[in-house]
Structure 1
Amino acid sequence: MHNSATTGKTGSSHAQRSPSDRQQSGRSTTAWHAFVLRAAALLIIAGSMSVAPAVHAQVSITSGFKGGVHSADLRADDLAEALEIPDEFTERRRGMAVGGFVQIDFAGPFALQPEAAYVQKGFDIPNIPNDPNVEAGSLALDYVEIPILAKLQIPVAGPITPTVFAGPAVSVNVNAEFDEPRAGTDPRDISDFVSGTEVGAHVGAGLDIEAGVVLLMLDARYTRGLTGVFDEDEINDAASDITNEGFRISLGIGF
């Protein structure tokens, strides 16, 4: 990758930080990741348990699995300046989003739907013919993503119910690599330059389909990070406002 943002200030940043500082920072980041994951898991479990005694009062719980395709990209006011590469040298990264959900249906059209999924984000760099300065590759940013969605189920006759939903999400970065296959090198771990956690938002629409004893869920959503992808202390100033953006189509099954 030619003059990538991930190398903009890395030399000076690492020169100023001692090995003990970096080790302590790594331990702090790992501890923070673990705390966020535990807190999100406890939130989902507590939410499920709190409504369990009220099942007799027309509150029902459905849990299941979801999987889909996620089309990811990065967003900034001037992405070309932030990444220090032309816009035409980047394209969306297509990856997977797989995980589970708990849908808590209250009396009426509203439901609460916590989810947890492994999501592949980032961007790809296509092979640019006749340009030796650009190596085809990809920036792989993978997250454990935990959205808490408020869901409106639109009442209609029949087994198919249209839905709209929105809500906040907390994501923990679990993989950050830059890969240049044409260069013949192993993927480079760039987790030192990537923020360990991300706060974002989801908004979308879908269909809930009653199929016997199971509930099929088809949805499409737009996801947007509200906090920066990169660690501001480890990256150039122009790249500090880069956020994740994505579109996703998912199919779920609930029991």
Structure 2
Amino acid sequence: MRTIFKTLALLLFTHLTFAQRIQLGARGGASWSTMTKFDLIENITPTFRLMPSGTGAIFADFAITDKFSVRPELAYIQKGFLVKESLSMGGADFLGINIPVGGTLAFKTNYYEIPVLAKFKLGNPNAPHAYLLAGPSVGYMGNAKAVIKVLGIFPISPSVSTDFFHRFEFSGVGGLGVDFPVGNGNIFIEGRYQHGFSRVLDIPMIQLPVRNRSLGVSAGFSFPIGYRE
């Protein structure tokens, strides 16, 4: 019986100690994305501009040491680009979408991602401090859509076939942030850059080197599981 109590006490102590080194959290903010440029058709080479959108995630932060932790996330981000130039006479066709004369295009894809990031704290972890983030991310494209404005006035939202795309994407994430300890938890702000390594488009017989690029700024909070003294 004494052995059983000792075992249960050890398990409880281990659980509480380890739990104090796990934090759960959430973040949300804005992102700006684009794709690497390519020639659409012979006479149309528009500039891909940054498209503003939103992003958010929930995460767990597993502390390995006082200054190093691993943060897996479940994230949502919208990627794409803007084409603001008016197109040439006769319009154009892009990924099965007819773009009218004088139309501008916002092209959007919705991704659900799992980044696994290493977090390196700079400075005293018990005071406001900066940190670095870096690691890989795997994403799945849920759907795609386009918003076209004719002469900058009339919005049109044609459907976009996902047959043109690779649904899975592998990318790298790097970031810099600042943690502000508040009680047992933290609030933070951070900036990120995400670099896509996988090709976005899947067009037969054409290997277009089109990849996602995005910048993001977000704020969030985290809190520990268990209790701290």
Scaled to the shorter chain, the TM-score interval is 0.7 to 0.9
Matches within 5 A, 1:138-217: 138-156=106-124, 159-182=127-150, 185-217=156-188
2:60 corresponding residue in structure 1: 102
SS of residue in 2 equivalent to 1:136? strand
Q: Contact 1:144 / 1:174 at 8 angstroms: preserved in 2? A: yes
Larger-gyration structure (1/2): 2
Deviation, 1:57, is 6.0
* Secondary structure in 2 matching 1:180: strand
Aligned counterpart in structure 2 of residue 223 of structure 1, from 177, 194, 210: 194
CA displacement at 1:179 relative to structure 2: 2.5
Specify the code of the residue in structure 1 equivalent to 2:45: P
Q: Are residues 184 and 71 of structure 1, via their aligned partners in 2, closer, same or farther at CA, if it must alter by over 3 Å?
A: closer
Alignment-derived partner of residue 98 in structure 2: none
- Residue in 2 that maps onto 1:251: 219
Aligned to 1:121: 79
Q: CA deviation at 1:129?
A: 8.8
Query: One-letter code of the match for 1:86?
Result: T
SS at match of 2:202: coil
- Cα displacement (A) at 1:108: 3.2
* TM-score, L = length of structure 2: 0.76
> 1:74-93 maps to which residues of 2 (within 5 A)?
74-75=35-36, 79-81=37-39, 85-88=44-47, 90-93=48-51
Give 1:153 shift.
Answer: 0.6
How many residues align? The count is 197
State the alpha-carbon separation in 2 of the partners of residues 99 and 57 from structure 1.
23
Q: Which has the higher strand share?
A: 2
CA separation in 2, counterparts of 1:226 and 1:54? 39
d(CA) in 1 for partners of 2:222, 2:125: 21
Unmatched 5+ residue regions in structure 1?
1-51
Deviations 1:125-157 (A, max 9, x none): 226399674411211111001100011111237
Judge conservation of contact 2:22–2:61 (CA < 8 Å) in 1.
yes
Contact 1:207/1:219 (8 A) holds in 2 = yes
Could you tell me which of 45, 48, 56 is aligned with 2:17? 56
C-alpha separation in 2, matches of 1:69 and 1:91 = 16
Secondary structure of 1:86's counterpart equals coil
Higher helix share: 1
Distance 1:92 1:58, change over 3 A: same
Give the residue type in structure 2 aligned to 1:196. R
SS of equivalent to 1:192: helix
| Alpha-carbon distance in structure 2 between the residues aligned to 1:83 and 1:165 | 39
SS at structure 2 position matched to 1:114: strand
- Contact 1:222–1:246 (CA<8 Å) still a contact in 2? yes
Q: Is the 8 A contact 1:97 1:118 kept in 2?
A: yes
What RMSD, in angstroms, separates the aligned Cα atoms of the two structures?
Answer: 2.6
Q: How far, CA to CA, are the matches of 1:122 and 1:251 in structure 2?
A: 22
| 1:82–1:242 Cα contact (<8 Å) kept | no
Moved more, 126-135 or 210-219: 126-135
